[in-house]
Structure 1
C-alpha cells in the first residue's frame, strides 16, 4: 500500500526489485490512474531470452499499444506490473483456468478491452530470473495463438468490412485459417513481395464450401488497406520473431 492510494506491485518471488521501483512507477500511475505500469528489466542469466528482452525494453510509447497482438505477449511483462488495486479487481484478477493458460495475456487483453492504457518506466527496475521449469513455459504456442487471434477479431476485425493480410506465406495463411467465417469472408487478398507467390491463389482446402474459396496473392503495391501485417521482425543477431 501507499499512503494515498491502494496499489498492487507484482513480483515473482525470486526476482530482484530495484529499490526505486515503487517510487518511479507510483509517479507514473498518479499521472494515469487507469494505466497498467511496467518497466524495463534485465535478465538473469544475462544471455537468456535476448530477442524478447530487446523487444520489450525498446518499444516506443505508441508501440506499447500497437504491438499487443505480437507473438511476444504483453508489451510490458507481468513481473513489472504496478496498478491500482481497484483496477486489478475490476479486471477480474488472473484467470483460474490453470496450467497452460496464458493468464498474463488474458488479463492484459481484458485491461485494454475495458479502456485501460499501458505505460512503461524506461529505467531497468527489475532483474527477471529465467528458469527452464517456469510455469510460463507450460503455456503452448498454440494456446497463445488462439488467445491472440480471438482478441484481434474482437477488438479490430469486427470493425472492418474488408482487409488485406500482408503475407502470402505460412503465417499469413495460418492466420486466415484461424479466423471465423465472418472475418475470413472480409479478406480481399494476401499481399507479398515474393515473386514466387505473387499472381497465384491460396485455396482454402479445409473449407466445406464447394468450390473451395480462393484468395489471390498480389504485390503489396496493388493491395488496399487496411492491412493485418503477419511478418517477422528482425532482431539482434539477424534472428527473427513472428508477429
Structure 2
C-alpha cells in the first residue's frame, strides 16, 4: 500500500506556495522509505502524509506545539520553510549562539527533510512499543534513533558531523537549565513552556543514541537494536538507560 498525500490548506494559493517543496520532499521520502523497508523493518506504513499549515497543525488537528508529528495512521507535516526557520531560531531562546543561528538559517531545507523522515522512522517495527503505549522507559531511545537513522542515511559525512556539532552545542548551552533529570524521564522539562525545554531531550537523546551506535556498538546499528530488543523481551527489569549503562553520560 502506498502512502496517500493529503493537502489541508485554506486556499489554493497556500497550496501552490508550497507545491514544489512538497514534491521534492515526497520524492526523497519515498527513496528513504524503500531503505527502511529493506533494512529497518518498516512493514506497516502510515496511511498517508497530511500537509498543512502551522496554525492548523497546532490548533485544529492537534495542540502539539511543534508542527510535525505522527500517529498510527498519519504523518502531519508543515512544508513551509519560513515557518521552520523561525522555529529553529526560536530554539535558542535568546541565547547568543551565532554559529547555531547561521546553521539553521542556511540548512532549513535539509533539516525539514530530516524531520519528515524522523516521523516515518517511528513506524518501523524495530521499535517495540505501540503508538498508544506510554513508552515510559524507552521513548528517549526511539526519538534519538529516529533522528540518528535518517541523518546517517541521508546526509553526507560532513553534514552529519555538522548537525551533530550543532546539537551538542545546544545541549551544552541548555544543560544547566534542563539537564537535571534522567534521560529516561524524556519530556519532563516541557512543562516549562519554552521551545528549548521541549527540544532539549531530543538533542540529548540523539547524542545518546549516537554514542550507543558509534562507541558502545562500534558503528553496528543492528547490534544496538538487538540489545534493545533483548531488554524489552526480558521484561524491562531495569530502565533502558541503566541497561545500556549511560545514566552518567547524558
> What TM-score, normalized by structure 1, do the two folds share?
0.29
Q: Which has the larger radius of gyration?
A: 1
Higher relative CO (Cα under 8 Å, sequence separation at least 6) belongs to 1
In terms of fraction of residues, the more strand-rich structure is 1
